[in-house]
C-alpha cells in the first residue's frame, strides 16, 4: 500500500511536468528600409524674349521681358537659397556673310531690385562664370525648400553695343539656370 | 481511506515523466535572419520603385511544440527624414507583396504575437528552415521634401 502511494505521488508530480505545447517567439531582427526622394529644380520659359530692336543711330535696345517659371524640391541641407541666373555661352550671330556679332558682354540682364548687368563677367553665379544672378530665394525652412507650386520671374534683357554692327538680325541663346548649393 | 492506484498507470506516468525529461534535452530553437536586405527605394512620382528582401526562418520544435511556425514583419514607427525635415512616411504606406502573392500594407492585424505585424509565411515541421522573399513598395507619398527617409522593419517568428 505504501509503495503505491509513492508511485501515485511521483506519477502525479511528473505528469504535471509534461510538455504544454505552448508558443515560442523568436528574437526580433531589424533591417533598414530607406526611401529616397531626389532633389529637383525645374526651370521653364513661359514667355520667350521678344526680338530686341536696336534703332538706327543708337547702340542699345529697349529692355524686353522674358518670363521664367521655376519650382524646386531640395533636401534639408540646402539652406543657402535657390538662385535664378541668366547666362549666354556665345555671341549672337548675323545672317550668312555677316561677320559682325553681338558679344555676350553686350547683353544685359537687370536683376530683381538691381541695375542692368552685362553677361560674361568674371564672376561666377549659379556655378557659371559670366552668369548674372537675377534673384535668390531663401531655403531656410522646409516650406521654402519644397516650393512645388513655383513662381514666375519677369526678367528684363537688353542689348547695349560698344560698337555698331551691320544691320541684320542676330540670333543666339540665353540660358536660364536654377541653382542651389 | 486510500484507494489502490493501478500499477500500470503508475508505470505509464513514469514513462511520460521520462519523456518529459528527455525531450527538453533536445534544445528547441527559433531564429530569423535577413539574408538579403531591402535596397534603397527611389521615389518616382507618388510611389517608389519595387524592391525585395529575403528572410530566413530556422526552427527546431524539439517535440515541445506542434511544429507550426509563422514569420511576420512589422514596423514600429514611420520613416523619417533628416535635419529639419518635418515630412514622414507612415508605415501604412509601406506595401508588401507576400511570397504567396497578394499585396497589403505592412501594418497588419497582429500575427506572431506582435501588434500590427503581418504574417508573410507559414511553415510546418518539427525542424527546418525556409526562406521567404517579400516585395516592397511605398505608395501614396504625396509631396515629400527631397531627402533620405529611414525606417526599420522588424522580422519575428512564432512557433507553436
What confidence tier does B122 reach under pLDDT thresholds 50, 70, 90?
very high
Which residue segment(s) compose the domain that A136 sits in? Answer: 40-179
What is the crossing angle of helices B7-22 and A2-16, to 10°? 40
Residue A30 located in a structural domain: no
B 106-145 → A contacts, CB under 8 A: 112-114, 136, 138, 141, 143-145
Q: Sort B146 into a burial class: Cβ within 10 Å, 0-12 / 13-18 / 19+.
A: buried
Residue A18 pLDDT exceeds 70: no
CATH of span B28-159: 2.60.40.1090
Strand partners, B47: B44
The SS3 call for residue B80 is: strand
Strand partners, A93: A101, A171
Q: What is the pLDDT of residue A22?
A: 82
Among B12, B83, B156, select the one facing A26 at the smallest CB separation: B156
Least CA distance to A29: which residue of chain B?
B155
Q: Chain A within 8 Å of B65 (Cβ-Cβ)?
A: yes
Strand partners, A47: A67
Q: What is the pLDDT of residue A51?
A: 97
User: Which tens digits make up the pLDDT trace of A78-137?
Assistant: 999 999 999 999 999 999 999 999 999 999 999 999 999 999 999 999 999 999 999 999
Q: For residues B89 and B145, what is the distance between their CA atoms, to the nearest angstrom?
A: 11
The mean pLDDT value for A7-29 works out to 68
Residue A105 located in a structural domain: yes
User: Which tens digits make up the pLDDT trace of B31-52?
Assistant: 999 999 999 999 999 999 999 9
Q: What is the pLDDT of residue B14?
A: 56
> Number of structural domains, chain A?
1
User: Which tens digits make up the pLDDT trace of A134-162?
Assistant: 999 999 999 999 999 999 999 999 999 99
Domain at A59, CATH number: 2.60.40
Least CA distance to B93: which residue of chain A?
A35
Residue for cell digits 537688353?
A158
- Is the ipTM higher than 0.85? The answer is no
Can you give the residue ranges of every domain in chain B? 28-159
Contacts of B94 in chain A (CB under 8 A): 33
Residue A174 located in a structural domain: yes
Distance from CA of A153 to the nearest CA of B (A): 23
User: Which tens digits make up the pLDDT trace of A50-69?
Assistant: 999 999 999 999 999 999 99
Q: What is the pLDDT of residue B27?
A: 80
Amino acid at each position: 500500500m505504501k509503495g503505491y502511494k509513492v508511485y501515485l505521488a511521483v506519477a502525479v508530480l511528473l505528469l504535471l511536468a509534461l510538455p504544454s505545447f505552448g508558443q515560442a517567439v523568436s528574437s526580433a531582427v531589424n533591417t533598414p528600409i530607406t526611401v529616397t526622394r531626389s532633389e529637383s529644380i525645374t526651370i521653364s520659359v513661359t514667355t520667350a524674349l521678344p526680338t530686341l530692336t536696336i534703332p538706327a543711330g543708337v547702340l542699345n535696345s529697349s529692355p524686353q521681358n522674358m518670363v521664367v517659371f521655376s519650382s524646386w524640391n531640395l533636401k534639408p541641407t540646402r539652406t543657402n537659397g535657390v538662385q535664378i541666373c541668366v547666362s549666354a555661352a556665345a555671341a549672337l550671330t548675323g545672317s550668312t556673310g555677316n561677320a559682325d556679332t553681338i558679344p555676350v558682354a553686350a547683353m544685359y540682364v537687370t536683376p530683381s531690385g538691381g541695375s542692368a548687368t552685362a553677361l560674361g563677367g568674371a564672376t561666377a553665379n549659379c556655378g557659371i562664370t559670366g552668369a548674372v544672378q537675377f534673384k535668390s530665394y531663401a531655403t531656410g525652412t522646409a516650406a521654402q525648400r519644397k516650393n512645388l507650386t513655383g513662381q514666375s520671374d519677369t526678367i528684363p534683357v537688353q542689348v547695349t553695343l560698344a560698337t555698331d554692327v551691320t544691320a541684320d538680325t542676330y540670333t543666339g541663346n540665353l540660358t536660364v539656370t536654377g541653382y542651389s548649393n | 481511506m486510500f484507494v489502490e492506484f493501478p500499477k500500470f498507470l503508475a508505470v505509464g506516468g513514469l514513462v511520460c515523466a521520462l519523456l518529459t525529461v528527455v525531450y527538453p534535452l533536445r534544445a528547441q530553437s527559433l531564429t530569423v535572419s535577413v539574408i538579403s536586405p531591402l535596397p534603397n527605394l527611389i521615389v518616382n512620382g507618388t510611389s517608389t520603385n519595387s524592391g525585395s528582401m529575403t528572410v530566413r526562418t530556422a526552427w527546431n520544435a524539439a517535440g515541445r511544440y506542434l511544429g507550426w511556425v509563422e514569420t511576420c514583419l512589422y514596423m514600429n514607427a514611420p520613416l523619417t527624414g533628416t535635419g529639419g525635415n518635418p515630412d514622414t512616411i507612415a508605415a501604412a504606406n509601406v506595401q508588401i507583396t507576400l511570397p504567396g502573392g497578394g499585396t497589403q500594407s505592412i501594418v497588419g492585424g497582429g500575427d506572431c504575437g506582435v501588434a500590427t505585424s503581418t504574417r508573410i509565411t507559414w511553415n510546418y515541421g518539427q525542424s527546418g528552415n525556409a526562406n521567404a522573399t517579400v516585395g516592397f513598395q511605398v505608395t501614396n507619398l504625396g509631396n515629400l521634401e527631397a531627402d533620405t527617409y529611414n525606417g526599420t522593419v522588424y522580422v519575428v517568428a512564432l512557433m507553436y
